[in-house]
Amino acid sequence: MNGLLRLTTALALGVLSALPAFATELKIGLQDDADVLDPAQSRTFVGRIVYTAMCDKLVDVSPDLKIVPQLATGWKWSDDGLKLVMTLRDGVKFHDETAMDAAAVVATIERNMTLPESRRKSELSSVEKVEATGPLEVTFTLKKPDVTLLAQLSDRAGMIVSPKAAKELGANFGSKPVCAGPFKFVERVQQDRIVLEKFKDYWNKDNIFIDKVTYLPIPDSTVRLANLRSGDLDMIERLAATDAQAVKSDPKLKYEAVVNIGYMALYANIANGPRADNPFGKDKRLRQAFSLAIDRDALNQIVYEGTAVGGNQPFPPNSPWYNKAIPVPARDVEKAKALVKEAGFDRVPVEMQIPNNPVAQQMMQIVQSMVAEAGFDVSLKSTEFATLLDEQTRGNYQLSRSDWSGRVDPDGNIHQFITCKGGINDTKYCNPEVDKLLNEARASTDDAVRKQKYDAASVILNDDMPIIYLGHQSWIWALNKSVTGFVPAPDGMIRLTGMKKGG
Amino acid sequence: MPVFIGKRLLVAIPTLLIISIFVFSLQKLLPGDPVLAMAGEERDPAVLELLREKYHLNDPIPVQYVNWLGGVLKGDLGISLRTNQPVLELIGEKLPVTIQLAIMAMIFAFAIGVPMGILAAVKKNTVLDYIASIVALSGLSVPNFWLGIMLILLVSVNLGWLPASGYESIFVDPVRSLQTMIMPAFVLGTALAATLMRHTRSAMLGVLSADYIRTARAKGLSPREVVLSHSFRNALLPVITLTALLFGELLAGAVLTEQIFTIPGFGKLIVDAVFNRDYAVVQGVVMCTAVGFILMNLIADVLYVLLNPRLRASL
């Protein structure tokens, strides 16, 4: 009898624990499918959203863009800025139950620096070596001072992976990634879904209230929203600005938005090949006139339903790095006309290549008619994105519209685009004075000094204007009302810590 | 007969070779650098160079082609630039999805198109015929993407009957699989239904005016028997030929439908591959489709010969 009782109790308990009703599942709609799920090799924005749940980093970024502890609890720069010592969190485990310690950090950083397929090499190019200087202490030695390293370590370059798994899978790590984040990898169906489940030994497990999270790539924003409305999704990222009003007025949905750290801009071909040889590339007065003829506020209202903000620098006006002495210019057609005249022109023909998506097309058609009043005859060349990037890199353009998703450290929004040898300097603008300022800003660990350098650089760039900044979009999320605890962050990530669903 | 099939297969080889050369060179003519497309924002020149080396993109195009062809002969279609997965594996994953979609769409198309065609022919020049024609014309004219989004809004968002998009394998969860596929299959099926209806109607009209039908009627057979047993059977032959041809349209339609309903199938695979300049995948998918077409045509030819003894003499 006793045995029977025990058996039934055991069975009942077994059934109860197997019941899925207690599991909280969160379904998130993404705009694209992620690429390979290896922090060393990955390059997509949506990939980073998935990592935010799966792979903890040495440091994280707070909503106000400060570097905060994650796997590292503290860090210190040497006075000469050539050494960075980090103290690691104790008792952290990877999803395969191996320990996350100094040796694992060293192995990961070295993997990022040496794996042939690694995309992290340039992000870690200032690192000379990294050593375990204690069981829970690592020391980075730098070739030259580089304060942006911390920001790099707050992203994929700083995601620590299990050395055991990395060794077993090598470049194929993405087929079964093993990290130390709150959720572990379950399965992935290409172009369909990525499924993660709660890691029971996560160091901060008491603040994780979701048991399972599924990411579904749904490129069409209308369909993404339809899935949210029908209850098939709990949350979507990158809601179209045109749907903002509909979501706000829906009692079942919640709207969240924040101005992002990226920018929208026009790149002028200053010295990239023979096509730079035109008045617009040669005479900065024409570029200044072009910028003055644009009504950035109107663009924001018409194209982005008021969700974006106008801008004239690589950092949005609400950023601590924005130079307040150069505010976003109001539209001034008379002054623009005068500048065109001063440069010796009546009408200036300009060919502008733009991405062939409807939003960019609408926006640039409005710009086309705005600048026409100041004397610019803009012909729009609508180009598919891969081609546009190619043309822009090779210098086969006069004026090109492309955007930057933004980096946490200000350096990431400016240095590689503007410095003479910058990796993605497509305008081939080159000014030794600007180079000097930007290099000095990168080397100083003192934010006040850095700000001064960026301010000085922005004064020169605002005059030379190789890049005409147009503004900054917002990240927009829509959530089911039952999802709480989501904090919108300017980096566009979805941090699941503290998020709840239900009730 | 084996000789006939053998001959046809031999002819298929140069056809496939020509297609492969054509697709290969067309892709290389496309502007846009695959490595750059892949790199997106992180356009570090050193990494780009390394990737070009790794995927042999620096080799002259004929060399690339010969390498690729060598791989194909060994059953290796290459590796996706974007996801590092073998192309063959990707195709194996996606093809069953699209086949399921295609079969369900065909069922819809037949269920709607054929009865409507018969009805329109039997009730020629009546209100019923006009209604059927109008429905068919609408089916042909309404764009897939519009119908798809409207259905999602109505059926999923407002009524909450079916999931708005996504996919589940029929072997994992058959009910959910059918639920997710009904709307896309319907959208894809409507255009085909219209074509089928028009052809069924005209084939039926031809048969209905034949002498033997008049004889059948004169014998006193019921109208139902005349229409279904005598006329429809004969009218079906051209309809079946058409169906084989429609499979091409079905694949083209699947490209759009899969995008709207986010179904991870063949169509979505090729669209994503083209936009990412994922050459190996584009090439693999096109070749796979070409083989499918050649096989379909071969089967149709064989069936014809089997069904029509008069053709056997020409073998």
DSSP A251-270: TTEEEEEEE-S-EEEEEE-S
Mean pLDDT of A417-422: 92
SS3 B67: helix
- Give pLDDT, residue B310: 65
Domain boundaries, chain B: 87-314
Provide the sign of the torsion angle of the four alpha carbons A143, A146, A150, A152, taken in this order.
negative
Q: Is A231 left (phi over 0), alpha (psi -120 to 50) or beta?
A: left
Residue B172 has pLDDT above 60, yes or no: yes
pLDDT-based confidence at residue A11 (cuts at 50, 70, 90): very low
H or E stretch covering A501: strand A500-501
Interface contact A390-B31, CB threshold 8 A = yes
- Residue appearing with tokens 């005409």: A468
A241: amino acid identity, one letter: A
SS3 A69: strand
- Residues in chain A with CB shorter than 8 Å from the CB of B156 are 226-227, 229-230, 232
pLDDT-based confidence at residue A17 (cuts at 50, 70, 90): very low
**How far lies B40's CA from each of A402, A495, B45, in Å?**
11, 24, 12
Give the gap in angstroms from C-alpha A172 to the nearest C-alpha of chain B.
8
Provide the sign of the torsion angle of the four alpha carbons A309, A313, A314, A317, taken in this order.
negative
CATH of span B87-314: 1.10.3720.10
pLDDT-based confidence at residue B298 (cuts at 50, 70, 90): confident
Mean pLDDT of A387-401: 90
- Give pLDDT, residue A271: 95
Q: What is the DSSP string of A237-255?
A: SS--GGGHHHHHT-TTEEE
**CA distance linking residue B307 with residue A22, whole number of Å:** 61
pLDDT-based confidence at residue B41 (cuts at 50, 70, 90): low
Kindly state whether residues A133 and A204 are assigned to the same domain: no
CA angle A374, A282, A467 (to 5 degrees): 70
Q: Which of B33, B42, B90 sits opposite A119 (nearest CB)?
A: B42
Token code pair at residue A109: 């950083």
Is the residue at A173 inside a domain?
Answer: no
Start-to-end C-alpha separation, chain B: 8
H or E stretch covering A406: none
SS3 B303: helix
Among the candidates A166, A193, A225, a domain finishes at A166
CB pairs under 8 A between A and B: 128
Contact B191/B252 with Cβ under 8 angstroms? no
- Residue appearing with tokens 């077993």: A168
Nearest CA to A343 among A365, A367, A375?
A: A375
Domain CATH number, residue A73 = 3.90.76.10
pLDDT-based confidence at residue A338 (cuts at 50, 70, 90): very high
H or E stretch covering B226: none
Interface contact A220-B157, CB threshold 8 A = no
Kindly state whether residues A346 and A415 are assigned to the same domain: yes
B75: amino acid identity, one letter: G
Which of A62-76, A281-295, B157-171 has the lowest average pLDDT?
Answer: B157-171
Of the ranges A14-18, B127-131, B242-246, which is most confident?
B127-131
Interface contact B32-A33, CB threshold 8 A = no
Token code pair at residue A18: 């197997």
Chain A interface, mutation test: which of B38, B47, B158, B173, most A Cβ atoms within 10 Å?
Answer: B47
Residue A349 has pLDDT above 90, yes or no: yes
Interface contact B82-A189, CB threshold 8 A = no
**CA distance linking residue A254 with residue A484, whole number of Å:** 10
The burial of A69, by beta-carbon neighbours within 10 Å (0-12 exposed, 13-18 middle, 19 or more buried), is given as: middle
Mean pLDDT, all residues of chain B: 82
Counting the structural domains of chain A, the total is 3
Report the percent of chain A where pLDDT is more than 70.
95
- Residues in chain A with CB shorter than 8 Å from the CB of B45 are 423
pLDDT-based confidence at residue A40 (cuts at 50, 70, 90): very high
In this structure, how many other beta carbons lie within 10 angstroms of the beta carbon of residue B298? 16
Interface contact B47-A122, CB threshold 8 A = yes
Mean pLDDT of A78-92: 95
- Give pLDDT, residue A19: 44
Backbone angles phi, psi at A248, to 5 degrees: -60, -35
pLDDT-based confidence at residue A27 (cuts at 50, 70, 90): very high
Kindly state whether residues A155 and A210 are assigned to the same domain: no
**CA distance linking residue A359 with residue B275, whole number of Å:** 18
Measured between CA atoms, the residue of chain A closest to residue B155 is A230
- Give pLDDT, residue A6: 55
- Residue appearing with tokens 């081609």: A387
Measured between CA atoms, the residue of chain A closest to residue B152 is A226
**CA distance linking residue B1 with residue B7, whole number of Å:** 10
Higher-scoring residue by pLDDT: A484, B264: A484
Kindly state whether residues A41 and A78 are assigned to the same domain: no
Is the residue at A242 inside a domain?
Answer: yes
Mean pLDDT of B201-217: 84
Is the residue at A123 inside a domain?
Answer: yes
Chain B interface, mutation test: which of A190, A224, A404, A428, most B Cβ atoms within 10 Å?
Answer: A190
| Domain of A322, in residue numbers | 263-472
Is the residue at A174 inside a domain?
Answer: no
Is the residue at A172 inside a domain?
Answer: no
SS3 A12: helix
Contacts with A, B 46-85, CB within 8 Å = 46-47, 50, 54, 82-85
- The partner residues of A183 in beta bridges, in order of sequence, read A198
Measured between CA atoms, the residue of chain A closest to residue B46 is A122
Interface contact A389-B261, CB threshold 8 A = no
Contact A161/A177 with Cβ under 8 angstroms? yes
Contact A275/A397 with Cβ under 8 angstroms? yes
Backbone angles phi, psi at A33, to 5 degrees: -85, 140
Which of B147-161, B164-178, B230-244 has the lowest average pLDDT?
Answer: B230-244
**CA distance linking residue B274 with residue B269, whole number of Å:** 9
Is the residue at A202 inside a domain?
Answer: yes
**CA distance linking residue A118 with residue A39, whole number of Å:** 9
**CA distance linking residue A259 with residue A487, whole number of Å:** 13
- Residue appearing with tokens 């999802």: A483
Give the gap in angstroms from C-alpha A455 to the nearest C-alpha of chain B.
25
- Give pLDDT, residue A428: 95
Interface contact B47-A226, CB threshold 8 A = no
Spatial CB neighbours of B35, under 8 Å, sequence gap ≥ 6: B48, B51, B52, B55, B57, B81
Interface contact A227-B156, CB threshold 8 A = yes
Asked if the C-beta of B163 comes within 8 angstroms of chain A's C-beta atoms, the answer is yes
Interface contact B269-A391, CB threshold 8 A = no
Spatial CB neighbours of A78, under 8 Å, sequence gap ≥ 6: A84, A85
**CA distance linking residue A256 with residue A479, whole number of Å:** 8
Domain CATH number, residue A250 = 3.40.190.10
Give the gap in angstroms from C-alpha B169 to the nearest C-alpha of chain A.
11
- Give pLDDT, residue A283: 95
Mean pLDDT, all residues of chain A: 91
Contact A194/A50 with Cβ under 8 angstroms? yes
Contact A30/A188 with Cβ under 8 angstroms? no
User: Rg of chain B over CA atoms, in angstroms?
Assistant: 24
H or E stretch covering A382: strand A376-383
Give the gap in angstroms from C-alpha A116 to the nearest C-alpha of chain B.
8
- Give pLDDT, residue B311: 65
Where are any strands of DSSP class E within A31-173?
59-61, 67-69, 72-77, 83-88, 127-134, 137-142
pLDDT-based confidence at residue B194 (cuts at 50, 70, 90): confident
Kindly state whether residues A254 and A202 are assigned to the same domain: yes
- Residues in chain A with CB shorter than 8 Å from the CB of B50 are 116-117
In this structure, how many other beta carbons lie within 10 angstroms of the beta carbon of residue A281? 22
Residue A14 has pLDDT above 70, yes or no: no
Measured between CA atoms, the residue of chain B closest to residue A191 is B264
For the stretch B68-102, pLDDT in tens is 888 888 888 888 877 778 899 888 888 888 888 98
Contact A264/A474 with Cβ under 8 angstroms? no
CA angle A436, A437, A443 (to 5 degrees): 90
Contact A260/A407 with Cβ under 8 angstroms? no
Residue A114 has pLDDT above 80, yes or no: yes
Interface contact B163-A232, CB threshold 8 A = yes
Token code pair at residue A315: 């950092």
- Residues in chain B with CB shorter than 8 Å from the CB of A194 are none
Give the gap in angstroms from C-alpha A156 to the nearest C-alpha of chain B.
12
- Residues in chain A with CB shorter than 8 Å from the CB of B84 are 36, 171-172, 174
- Give pLDDT, residue A460: 97
For the stretch A431-445, pLDDT in tens is 999 999 999 999 898
- Give pLDDT, residue A398: 96
Measured between CA atoms, the residue of chain A closest to residue B275 is A386
Which of A250-259, A468-477, B248-257 has the lowest average pLDDT?
Answer: B248-257
SS3 A437: helix
Interface contact A390-B275, CB threshold 8 A = no
Kindly state whether residues A14 and A116 are assigned to the same domain: no
Kindly state whether residues A253 and A361 are assigned to the same domain: no
Nearest CA to A33 among A212, A195, A215, A185?
A: A215
- Give pLDDT, residue A202: 97
Nearest CA to A461 among A417, A496, A501?
A: A417
Kindly state whether residues A65 and A133 are assigned to the same domain: yes
Report the percent of chain B where pLDDT is more than 90.
3
Q: Which of B149, B259, B264 sits opposite A189 (nearest CB)?
A: B264
Give the gap in angstroms from C-alpha B55 to the nearest C-alpha of chain A.
12
- Residues in chain B with CB shorter than 8 Å from the CB of A393 are 33, 36, 43
Kindly state whether residues A272 and A355 are assigned to the same domain: yes
Interface contact A192-B167, CB threshold 8 A = yes
pLDDT-based confidence at residue B58 (cuts at 50, 70, 90): confident
Mean pLDDT of B136-140: 82
- Give pLDDT, residue A18: 45
Contact A476/A238 with Cβ under 8 angstroms? yes
User: Rg of chain A over CA atoms, in angstroms?
Assistant: 25
**CA distance linking residue B315 with residue B311, whole number of Å:** 7
Contacts with B, A 307-366, CB within 8 Å = none
Spatial CB neighbours of B247, under 8 Å, sequence gap ≥ 6: B102, B292, B293, B296
**CA distance linking residue B295 with residue B244, whole number of Å:** 11
Chain A interface, mutation test: which of B27, B28, B29, B42, most A Cβ atoms within 10 Å?
Answer: B42
Nearest CA to A41 among A144, A107, A120, A123?
A: A120
**CA distance linking residue B55 with residue B74, whole number of Å:** 18
Contacts with A, B 11-30, CB within 8 Å = 30
pLDDT-based confidence at residue A1 (cuts at 50, 70, 90): very low
Higher-scoring residue by pLDDT: A500, B53: A500
For the stretch A357-379, pLDDT in tens is 888 999 999 999 999 999 999 99
pLDDT-based confidence at residue B309 (cuts at 50, 70, 90): low
Contact A38/A173 with Cβ under 8 angstroms? yes
- Residues in chain A with CB shorter than 8 Å from the CB of B269 are 191
Contacts with A, B 259-298, CB within 8 Å = 259-262, 264, 268-269, 272, 275-277
Asked if the C-beta of A68 comes within 8 angstroms of chain B's C-beta atoms, the answer is no
Residue A312 has pLDDT above 90, yes or no: yes
Interface contact A227-B31, CB threshold 8 A = no
Q: Quick check: pTM over 0.95? A: no
- Give pLDDT, residue B245: 72
Kindly state whether residues A323 and A418 are assigned to the same domain: yes
Tell me: ipTM over 0.90. Answer: no
Kindly state whether residues A66 and A47 are assigned to the same domain: no
Asked if the C-beta of A226 comes within 8 angstroms of chain B's C-beta atoms, the answer is yes
Contacts with B, A 182-201, CB within 8 Å = 189-193
- Give pLDDT, residue B141: 85
Is the residue at A400 inside a domain?
Answer: yes
